[in-house]
Amino acid sequence: MGGWVAAVSERGSGVLNATEAVRMFQALAPKKGAVVRDNPEVVGIRKGPEGGVVVETSTGEEFSGAKCVVTVGAWTSKLVKSVAGVDLPIQPLHTMVLYWRIKPGRERELTAEAGFPTFSSYCAPHFVYSTPSLERPGMIKINYHGGPPCDPDSRELVSGGGNVVERVARWIDEFMPGRVETAGGPADRLPCMYSMTPDEDFVIDFLGGEFGEDVVIGAGFSGHGFKMGPAVGSILAEMAMDGEARTAAEAGVELGHFRINRFDGNPMGNAKDL
């Protein structure tokens, strides 16, 4: 007896060129008055002597401001624990971005122009997702959603993904036979990290404690936050500047869903309601 597959299609969805999107934001930020500093390691955050916040770096350089927005991804738990003693259940996972060579003659049919979709496949044990061939002609990005837990400061960049490559290759051979070359593995692999919450929902909240509303946290995006970056950035900016995210409230977005305290006495957070 054969198996069956349930599917949901959303024709209003799309695909982003991630590299170009990041480059765009980096170019726009200075035009809006931001000062971009590459590679300073933040080691501390403290209250300023006359109010506000002071951010400390490993080089001894310090930055002062009225407010601070913390968006440090996989390093969030370490930083928040060190500066506020708060345990955030955000687990870094080591994952790999995998680009596979499309078999000759199949290149065009796996593009967005040809109607090939962005998809997520939740056929356990293979949790695989893909986007159409876009940034690298002749290749397609097909990845495993997840990976082993890691320490962001001491992970193995090349092989730390465990058996992720083998899982994705098996999925490709089963569900996309004859279209993608799996022999010899992916054409390229790039190390990446998820910052996972137990319920896979974001953390968007004031840090509280001695910092009150002077420090805002945006973290735990669990592998699916990039596409929501502009909306989340707007929310974090309004929280820092105005003490509340009015635009989100007017749109009917319930930010209480993303509060830090949802894990108090409840390690699964919002997942308990599912």
Specify the pLDDT at position 5.
Answer: 73
Q: Compare 3 and 251 and report the one with higher pLDDT.
A: 251
pLDDT at 2 over 70: no
Residue type at 23 in one-letter notation: R
53-78, pLDDT tens digit by residue?
999 999 999 999 999 999 999 999 99
Contacts of 69 by beta carbon, 8 Å cutoff, 6+ apart: 215, 216, 218, 236, 237, 240
Domain ranges of the chain: 19-90+199-264, 96-196
Residues 19-90+199-264: name the CATH superfamily: FAD/NAD(P)-binding domain (3.50.50.60)
CB 214 within 8 A of CB 65: no
Residue pLDDT, tens place only, 5-57 = 778 888 887 888 888 999 999 999 999 999 998 888 999 999 999 899 999 99
Q: Which residues pair with 63 in a beta bridge?
A: 55
Rounded distance between C-alpha atoms, residue 252 and residue 70, angstroms: 24
Residue 261, pLDDT score: 94
Confidence grade of residue 239 (pLDDT, cut at 50, 70, 90): very high
Task: Walk across the sheet containing 188-196 and list its strands.
Answer: 119-123, 126-130, 139-144, 91-101, 188-196
The pTM assigned to this predicted structure is 0.89
The second-level CATH assignment, the architecture, of 96-196 is 2-Layer Sandwich (3.30)
